[in-house]
A and B are shown apart, each in its own frame.
Chain A
Amino acid sequence: MFWVNKAHAGNTFMPPQASNFAESVDTLYGFLYYSSLISCILVIGGLVYFAFKYKRKTASDKTAYIPHNALLEFLWSFIPFVIFLVVFAWGWKIFYDMRSAPKDALEIHVVGQKWNWDFVYKSGRKTSSEFTIPINTPIKLIMGSRDVLHSFFVPSFRVKQDVIPGRYTSLWFTATKEGNFNVFCTEYCGTGHSTMLAKVKVVSKAAYESWLENNPYKGLTLSEVGQKVYAGRCIACHNVTNVKKIGPGFAGLWGSERKLTDGSTVVADEAYIRESILNPNAKKSVGYEEAVMTSFQGQVSEEELTGVIEYLKTLK
Chain B
Amino acid sequence: MSSVNKPRSEGGHAFHFDGPEHEFETTKFGIWLFLCTEVLMFGGLFVAYFLFAHKFPETFIEGATYLDWKFGAVNTAVLLVSSFTMVLSIYYAQNNKTKQCVNMLFITLACGFIFMFIKYLEYTHKIDLGLLPGDMFSFTGEMGSTNLGLYFSTYYMMTGLHGSHVLVGMGLIVWCIVRARRGEYNSKYFTTLECVGLFWHLVDLIWIYLFPLLYLVD
- A–B touch (CB < 8 A): the answer is no
Q: Which residues of B contact A (CB under 8 A)?
A: none
